[in-house]
Amino acid sequence: SDVKPFVLDFDLVSGFCTSGKVKPTQRRVSDMVAQFANETAARAMVEGGDPLLYEFYGLDLPEDDSGVLQFGTTILYPGKVGEEYFMTKGHFHTILDTSEIYYGLSGHGMMLMETPEGQVDWKEIGPGEALYVPGRWAHRSINTGTEPLVMFFVYRGDAGHDYGTIEEKGYRKLVVERDGKPAVIDNPKWKV
Ligand code: 6PG
Ligand code: NI
């Protein structure tokens, strides 16, 4: 490709590109009401000011080149919708077998993963931990802590995002607070 070498700054704690060279995409509760188990609680939060759930950086790199690596940070805020922790939408990659690496910078959370065949897995992630999400595994980040969960990510630049499958079916599992601790439970709204 004709991309030239470049340097970007991402703050090690906040995850933000403080120089402002790139701008994050933001998602609010209103962007994903139907993804939460308690849609009534989600709608009430939208009415009450529609809090910011997370922001993430994506770079303006070619999307049709398997040699490109896309990278940036995700900043996922702490909070809950009902008893369910703030989370990202989650997706499969359109090129299903493309993998992704996350590196925890600050905060604590979980990556909830599943395959189209119905394997499920979840891993805790915190500062200094690198998480490998293999190809075929849908991935959703969840903030189970009290500080923003900040992670750096890298994936093949032509991988693409399949949001539709998760929007239609949901995840097989949810992460909720039970007795003050995170618990992974079956998603009652999951559709075969
Ligand atoms: C990706 C990464 C990551 C992700 C963000 C936001 O493939 O782009 O997994 O950058 O997009 O963490 O999560 P959603 O894309 O699921 O909203
Ligand atoms: Ni991804």
- Greatest alpha-carbon span in the chain: 54
Q: What integer pLDDT is reported at residue 139 of this predicted model?
A: 98
Mutate to test the pocket of ligand 1, among 10, 70, 88, 98 (most ligand atoms within 8 A of CB): 88
Distance (Å, rounded) from C-alpha 55 to C-alpha 11? Answer: 14
Residues 49-75 have pLDDT tens digits of 999 999 999 999 999 999 999 999 999
Closest by CA to 16, choosing from 52, 55, 69, is 55
Determine the residue type at 115: T
For ligand 1, whether the C-beta of 98 sits within 6 Å is: no
| 91 Cα to the center of ligand 2, angstroms | 6
Q: What integer pLDDT is reported at residue 21 of this predicted model?
A: 97
Contact 155, 100 (CB under 8 A): yes
Q: What integer pLDDT is reported at residue 2 of this predicted model?
A: 85
| 23 Cα to the center of ligand 1, angstroms | 15
Residues 81-95 have pLDDT tens digits of 999 999 999 999 999
| 115 Cα to the center of ligand 1, angstroms | 16
| 17 Cα to the center of ligand 1, angstroms | 17
Per-residue tokens: 170: 């949901």
Q: How many helices (H) and strands (E) does the chain have?
A: 2, 15
Residue whose Cα lies nearest atom 17 of ligand 1: it is 89
Q: How far is CA 25 from the centre of its chain?
A: 12
Per-residue tokens: 127: 């500062």
- Residues of the chain with pLDDT below 50 are none
Q: What integer pLDDT is reported at residue 191 of this predicted model?
A: 83
Residue whose Cα lies nearest atom 12 of ligand 1: it is 74
